[in-house]
Amino acid sequence: MSEPRANSASNSPMSVPKFAASKGRDKKLTVLTAYEYTFASLFDEAGVDAILVGDSLGMVVQGKSTTMPVTLEQMIYHGEIVARAVKRALVIVDLPFMTYQVSPAQAVENAGRILKETGAGAVKLEGGVHQAATIRALAQADLPVMGHVGMRPQSVRMLGGMSRVQRDEEMLLADAKAAEEAGAFAIVLELMPRGVAEKITSALSIPTIGIGAGPGCDGQVLVSYDMLGLTKGFQPKFLKRYADLHSVALEATNRYLQEVRDGQYPDASHSHE
């Protein structure tokens, strides 16, 4: 007899309307990033509400210093792999740098490609007030879009660093409200004081998903490689590591290398007659 899926409130697929309707409910929304089939399948089995195919893949998968070099084709490639693995969670794919900033028409074309070629349920873009027209164009084209305000990795040059907490309460609230009014179904709040995130969450009718924004948001997202302890040398205040898979994988790799070098592997039990 198979065991029930862990931590899953429902086996029914998560949709954009269901995700948006989760605002203010007792159970917070859960989001993790994934970039390939195995982890996406594992997170979906665990019952995560949404999987974000983030342009953070530029840093944690490609080893680059920022998200900015990631291309649309790369996001489509990884998004299709993740969507193919997922049976229940809502899959959201980032619009990468300079695929939506030129014009709303550019954003509609590229978001349409992402949803058509990956099978994902929604896209995400960074920005509030200055991207309101773009968010509105996406929503009017029936392309579900999640907003992202606060620390915006694609604006790292303007904001002064990837780990810089954003503290302009008036600007942050204006950005969040602009994204909601333009038609975003949810919004990521990144790296801001918890009190500001709580005010934004109370002011909006759409779910807020925090990362470095405290516990007052309607849900939380983490980069999965960070959450699982696969990455080293990155320890912002908000990050909680739920495992140390780097150490586990390193120890297993060392054992494999040693056993092969010593002739212990493969032994008789791992060989065919």
- Any idea which residues carry the catalytic annotation? 190
Q: What is each CA distance from 67 to 83, 135, 190, in whole angstroms?
A: 21, 21, 15
Q: Which amino acid is at 66?
A: T
C-beta separation of 138 from 108 below 8 A: yes
- The β-bridge partners of 208 are 187
Q: Is 163 helix (H, G, I), strand (E, B) or coil?
A: coil
Q: Which amino acid is at 30?
A: T
* Cβ neighbours, 10 Å, residue 101: 17
Determine the Cα–Cα distance for residues 216 and 206; give it in Å rounded to an integer.
Answer: 14
Q: What is each CA distance from 140 to 49, 72, 143, 225, in whole angstroms?
A: 25, 22, 7, 35
